[in-house]
Amino acid sequence: MISFVGAGPGDVDLITIKGRKLLEEADLVIYAGSLVSKEHLKFCKKGCQIYNSASMTLEEVVEKMEMGVSKGLKVVRLHTGDPTIYGAIREQMDLLDEKKIDYEVIPGVSSFTAACCSIKKEFTLPEVSQTVILTRIEGRTRVPKEEDLERLAVHKASMALFLSVREIGTVVEKLIKGYERDDVPIAVVYKATWEDEKIILGTLKDIEEKVKKEGITKTAQILVGDFIEGKYERSKLYDPSFSHEYRSGIE
Ligand code: SAH
């Protein structure tokens, strides 16, 4: 069996119990070396074969998996955060489907929620935004033009940007155009939940300068929106005058 496992954002204790158990039982682990903490590998049993996918092609990864399965080994493919977000797992799963090799996918804590926890905020505030947009700026991977950052910013939803901090200048420029103001709060969280985590808070006006000063060019979440700072409405869920299914008649 092959298990795609989300390792979580960094802190090794942020993997799921299911993920940790699979790691402990694995005979072969292929981990995404650039972002998965090596600490996770300490939970692997003696004799477990470990490969770093950073230096492998898609075909090499799938070949290793195929080899493992043919020997009856328990294979774990360890991805950073949650495997379903910028994890490049679909292409692996499609190749496995072609080869009629079975697999499962175990979720993980994504860096976008971890980063929001680090700044101790909530993405979805009443009367501010009830939507979270997960996106990225175009890099080597293209972004459909309908999803250009400027167009998305027009919605004024809470946003989490992956893979974009290197282009912080372009990010800010597009966000200002979309929002039509430059005082929108923004947070850059570098290596959320790692020991060397850094949090930079600012607005669209000053964040580029602050980020450049800190020399942050990778492994950061950019969180944007009025959920970071400013007024909001209390939630109806805990409002004493609002009764619902679980609390009707309490007050
Ligand atoms: N599947 C991962 C994302 C992989 S793409 C997830 O769910 O988090 C890699 C990008 O994720 C990085 O460029 C960065 O934007 C973000 N990222 C991953 N780990 C991070 C962390 N600990 N702190 C901040 N951003 C992180």
- ∠ at Cα 24 (23, 25), nearest 5°? 90
Residue 235 lies in a domain: no
Q: At what angle do helices 58-70 and 90-98 cross, to 10 degrees?
A: 50
pLDDT value at position 59?
96
| Cα 139 to ligand 1 centroid, rounded to whole Å | 15
pLDDT value at position 236?
85
pLDDT at residue 245 above 80?
no
Residue 143 sits in a domain whose CATH number is 3.30.950.10
- Confidence tier at 135 by pLDDT (50, 70, 90): very high
pLDDT at residue 10 above 70?
yes
pLDDT value at position 188?
98
Same-domain status, 95 and 195:
no
Residue ending a domain, among 62, 78, 106, is 106
Q: Maximum distance among all alpha carbons in the chain? A: 63
What are phi and psi for residue 96, nearest 5 degrees? -65, -40
Residue 39 lies in a domain: yes
How many percent of the chain have pLDDT more than 70?
A: 98
Residue 231 lies in a domain: no
- Check: CB of residue 218 under 8 Å from CB of residue 177: no
pLDDT tens for each residue of 156-175? 999 999 999 999 999 999 99
pLDDT value at position 238?
86
pLDDT at residue 26 above 80?
yes
Same-domain status, 29 and 92:
yes
Residue 242 lies in a domain: no
Residue 67 sits in a domain whose CATH number is 3.40.1010.10
| Cα 125 to ligand 1 centroid, rounded to whole Å | 23
Query: d(Cα 239, Cα 234) in Å, to the nearest integer?
Result: 7
Q: In whole numbers, what is the pLDDT of the chain averaged over residues?
A: 95
Same-domain status, 168 and 212:
yes
* pTM of the predicted model as reported, rounded to 2 decimal places: 0.95
| Cα 220 to ligand 1 centroid, rounded to whole Å | 7
| Cα 186 to ligand 1 centroid, rounded to whole Å | 17
Question: Average pLDDT in the 29-54 region?
Answer: 95
Same-domain status, 151 and 88:
no
Number of domains the chain contains? 2
Same-domain status, 116 and 102:
no
- Check: CB of residue 156 under 8 Å from CB of residue 179: yes
Q: Domain range spanning residue 92?
A: 2-106
**Structure token digits, residue 124:** 């979805």
Q: Which atom of ligand 1 is nearest to the CA of 87?
A: 1
Which residue CA neighbors atom 11 of ligand 1 most closely? 162
Q: Which atom of ligand 1 is nearest to the CA of 110?
A: 7
pLDDT value at position 138?
92
Q: Which atom of ligand 1 is nearest to the CA of 218?
A: 13
C-alpha pair distances (Å), 142 with each of 110, 139, 217: 22, 6, 19
In this predicted model, which residue has the larger pLDDT, 157 or 246? 157
